Structure 1
Amino acid sequence: MGAKKKQLLKSLKTGRPPTVKSARSMSRKVSRTLINSHHQLEKRRRQAAAKGDKDAEAAIIAEIASLGGLDHYQQASLQGQSLDRGGDTSKILLEWLPVPEMKSSGKRLKMLEVGSLCTRNACSTSGLFDMVHIDLNSQEPGIIQQDFMERPLPETEAAKFDIISLSLVLNFVPEAAGRGQMLLRTLNFLQDDPTSSLGISVLSFPSIFLVLPRSCITNARYLTQSRLEELMTTLGYELVQAKLTQKLAYSLWKRARPLASTSIEFTKREVNPGRTRNNFAITLKHPASQSA
């Protein structure tokens, strides 16, 4: 029997625009246009990569770089998240959490914010959490420059987190399989039962705060809200809260049980057909060694 070809997942860095010198402050119109342009170009880049068209992919990467690369995109995102524009996604999370109980407990929970753009969002300044901020391209001294998929696994329960924020992170992972692996990996970083010793409602922790572009849920050929719930249930999560806005899909998932199975095969299956649908998908084959 011939050896099976091992297919390595691409680094998360390949899903992010290239990096150049950071841009200065910009208007709402300019930042929104830049963000939309990056998303469209990134979609085209992934399509070119999937087809193996290296020339087209290189041309699109050059076009992304001409717009300012990752730093410029992050600057636009920071403008969108500024308090006066109401773009801080962590505000929604605080609305969903048992804040009075958390305050009265007198103890701070631990949050890992993946893809962190700044250290001054609502959760970071609430005084409720001991925050750890990480991002592929740190914009501040308080943000660790780190790939979540390469972050060392916690060796003790005390090193784990009560909540993990994945706000507009999963959509930048370059492959459907990589997105599934990221969701699976979150299980290694969440505490088993952080609330029992804190006197805080068990309704919300340990958990994942997930934010995606709305189109990833409502206009995707291979993913719907029910399909996402199917995968998350398999991983042992249950939906606590969900909200759709004009642009974003928010959800809070509590880790409620161990993995439903030691073998998971969540495939790319068309569930929302239509010519205008996008191809956003999440797949997962676990254990990964079973992949052909």
Structure 2
Amino acid sequence: MEINLKDARMETLENCDLQDITEMWNRCWRGYYYDMSYSKDHMKVWLDLSQVSLQHSLAILDKRRVVGFALLAVEEKDGWIAGACIDPEYRRYGLFTLLIKSQLNLANYMRLQRIFLEVLEQNPARNIYQTVGFKSMRQLNVYRATTRTIYDRQRLTAHPLKQTSPEEYFKIRKTTSFKPAWQRRENYLKRYSNLWALINQAGTAGALFAGDKSGPLLDLWSVNLTGAEELIPTMLRRGGKSLILTNQPNDWVFSFLLNYGIIPSAKQIEMCIELS
């Protein structure tokens, strides 16, 4: 298929409905490293959690067909690309570079100061982000790990933890050196319902959950090895056969898990660009 870049036009997504966005998302992510397909309900939750600003998010259209998009979330003077992709049939024509440059131009017009994103370590899009000015900040780890046999074999000791309110949890976390990625910022996490938290006795490690006692683990941090040793065995025992966690930096939690043979299932690079 021959594509003339002059035929491509850029529009915001503010007039797209949920059905259109879901179709666009699923089509453009075909063939990705893992399944990115969303139902309409899942897409609505994702847009609400991420607080994506559709009026500031861009799409590339070939005639009436969306062939690429960038979703932009905004928090004060910071922005976050909550997904950017090109339809597989339209790749290798320079459209992704055009899309990201256009999104940065719009962010500058909005007077944003910084744009963040995460990209899989092996994704070629990382090179394009670097070309347009994004800088690599750190590695973020994704865990989809089986842990039950490790817990049993190592006979890890669970330590007493105290349950606390989300307000107290974030108050304590603010006093530490932990630097959360975008999806683990306080405002993002507070959009989940029925939050509850655990903290170790010294207040040097904590975990945040959503829903009931079997709800998902949203946040996990420790500022030293002792805190990790006190907190994580309880997390492993509570999680049964698996540990599901995203956006975990190479911190004490990462070190503790690695020590017991729990390795990330995927690695992302957190990137940022400072805008003029």
| TM-score past 0.5 threshold | no
Please tell me whether Structure 1 or Structure 2 has the larger radius of gyration of its CA atoms: 2
Higher RCO structure (Cα 8 Å, ≥6 apart): 2
Query: TM (normalized to structure 1)?
Result: 0.29
TM-score by length of 2: 0.30
Structure with a larger share of its residues in strand: 2
